[in-house]
Every structure is written in C-alpha cells, then in structure tokens.
Amino acid sequence: MRWCIGLLISFNCFSQGNYFEYHKLINKAEEQYFIKSDIDSTFYFYNKVFTSYNFVFVKDLVNAAQIAYFCKKPYRQYLEQGFEYGLKIDHIRYIPLFKTIYKQLSADTKLKKIYSIKRRDYLSRIDVNYLDYVYTVGFWDQRGRFLDRKVYEKRKKSILITLTDSIVKKGFPGDRLIGIADSTIFRQLGSKKPNFYDRVKPHKELWDYFSCNEQELTEKMMVLVLINNFSSYYKLKEYWLTEIKKGNIHPRDVALLHDNTYRSSTNPGFSTLKGVYHTNPFVSYGEKWKRKDINKMRHDLFMVAMEVDEKKKEYEKKHGFKLFWGFWNCR
C-alpha cells in the first residue's frame, strides 16, 4: 500500500475540483480490481474519490457497489451516495447481479427514507433552465432528421453555435449541471415545463424510437445531438479538456464523439484524426490501429486501457455485472 499513499499525497497537491485527478483514481480502482485482483487497493481508491469530490459520476458509485457486493463487502453506502447524483432505487433492477436483492432493497423503508432525503438534495442542484434548453435543442434536432438534408444540416450548425455559447457561459450541459435522464424530471422539480414524453407526444415520427433511456444513468440528449453532427468533436475541440477537468463531461463521452468522426469522411474534422479510442460501436475499427497506440490515447484522455474494458465485459458475461453505462454504453 506504500505506493498508494505516495500517489494520494500527489493527488492532494491538486485541487479536489480537478476531474483529471478524479478519473485517474477511478481508473486506478478499476485496474486494481479487474487486472490485479487487489480488493483492498480497489476500495482505497474508490473511497478516496467518493469522499473528496462534491460531484461524482453515478456510474462509478454503482460499479463500486457491484464490486463490493460481489466481494461480500458492505455495498449499500455506495448506492446511498448514488442517490445524491440521481440514482433511483428502481435503477437497481437493470443490474443482473442485484436481481436477487432488488425486491428486498425496493421494500426497505430505511433505504426509501434515505433516498427521499438525498433526492431532494439532488433536485436542488439541477439547472432547470439549462435542462429545458437541452430538451428543446434535442427535440429540434430529432425532428430535423425528417426534413430536407440541407435544412437539417443548417439546423445542426445553428445548434452548435448556441451550444458553444452555452459552454462558454455555463459549461457543457452534462450530468453535473443538468442531472441524469428522468422522464418526469420537470414535474419532480415543480416546473411547468413539459417532461420528456409530453414533448414526444405531438410528433408521431418520434413515437416508434425516441425514448428517455433512464437506464443509461446519464442525460443522453446533448450527446445524441452531437453524435448526429459528425463534425461536432472537431468544432468543439478547444473546450473538451477544460470541460473534462471541471467535471462537466465524462472523458469517455468525448472519446465516443471523437471516434464518431470516422463515420463520415466528408466532414471537416475527418482529416485531422490520428488515432482512435475504440469506444464507438458503429465505427469499423478493423486492424488498422495498434493496441499500444490506442491505449496511449486512452491514457492521455484519462481512460483505462482496453485490457481493463475487456475484463469488465468478461465480468458482465460471467457474473451478471453491469459495468458500462452512458450513451451507447460508452462509459
């Protein structure tokens, strides 16, 4: 553990609002468990992160809870802390590993009381107007997909202009600022603004496919808008590292958008690409890129190596974990 202490002394020299350090420690926790099978070090790093930051990506708490449960260690504290960042008791049913305890947890009156208290705190931190902006832009983008291509392209450019202005003024509209996906969020906030499915209802073209996707544990809307614009990574490139450092966007979301650029060779950012993060399920990666180069890029963007992701997928398949979250399970 001596090397752990040395690393954490180094960590404490940084501001605990620096999410570069946050992701380094989360990655260290995952490496310790999935690669080195060092349970004590795993929770040493997890607990350091969870007690040092005033915002935590909820998927990290949920993953820590699964590892703790699997290792027969206390796990509920991670779920309870997750309530502060949008986790619901109902989300637990999406995790096969928790299948046998879901009914017990959902009926636990003490847990419900804790959830109720922490839910109020979570809702109080959401920027309602910013969330409404994201919904408005998201639906405008989706409806644009059914218009003439040139009209839609013009609409996408307009959205990118307003988003850039919003990022400069407020920060990227991610989980930290607008919370995670919830189909009735405005009602819970006491707002008269329409909820997700109230906005879907007037548009029949959206009925068959457009859903809130609460099980992703993130608000997908703005990432979806940027996925639909193949040049979005390139156009917003100057902001990504700053927004990651602030905790406004997850680095794996940025990696997804980067690799998404490969899906269209005609966009202006295509020629600037020099590698991949291997996170986008709709990109044909083939054998062009060497693993060591991919892992170098991942390291530089505060992501775990491919070997860690592969081990996590193995745990999902063999043991019923649910370890990948976010849009297209990119996180």
Q: Which residues contact 234 (CB under 8 A, 6 or more apart)?
A: 261, 267, 268, 269, 272
Q: Which of 28-37, 94-103, 193-202, 258-267 has the lowest mean pLDDT?
A: 258-267
Residue 14 has pLDDT above 50, yes or no: no
pLDDT at 12: 52
How deeply is 149 buried, as exposed, middle or buried, from its count of CB atoms within 10 A (0-12, 13-18, 19+)?
exposed
Number of residues that this document lists for the chain = 331
Q: For the segment 125-158, what is each residue's pLDDT rounded down to a tens digit?
A: 999 999 999 999 999 999 999 999 999 999 999 9
Q: Which of 13-27, 51-65, 234-248 has the lowest mean pLDDT?
A: 13-27
Calculate what percentage of the chain has a pLDDT beyond 90. Answer: 90
Is residue 267 very low, low, confident or very high in pLDDT (cuts 50, 70, 90)? confident
Position 16 pLDDT exceeds 80: no
| Whether residue 257 has pLDDT greater than 90 | yes
State the pLDDT at residue 4.
54
Interacting residues of 178 by C-beta distance below 8 A, sequence separation 6+ = 126, 127, 130, 131, 134, 219
Positive or negative, the Cα torsion across 104, 108, 112, 118? negative
> Which pLDDT does position 13 carry in this prediction?
44
Q: Which residues contact 173 (CB under 8 A, 6 or more apart)?
A: 127, 130, 131, 133, 134, 166, 219, 222, 248
User: What amino acid is encoded at 72 in this protein?
Assistant: K
Look at residue 8 and tell me whether its pLDDT is greater than 60.
no
How far apart, in Å, do the first and last CA atoms of the chain sit?
Answer: 28
pLDDT tops 60 at residue 11: no
Hey, where are the domains in the chain?
2-9+17-124, 128-329
Q: Which pLDDT tens digit goes with each residue over 59-110? A: 999 999 999 999 999 999 999 999 999 999 999 999 999 999 999 999 999 9
Query: Between 8 and 308, where is the model more confident?
Result: 308
Name the pTM for this structure.
0.93
**In the chain, what's the furthest Cα-to-Cα distance?**
62
Confidence (pLDDT) at 277: 98
- What's the whole-number average pLDDT of the chain? 95
More confident residue, 265 or 129: 129
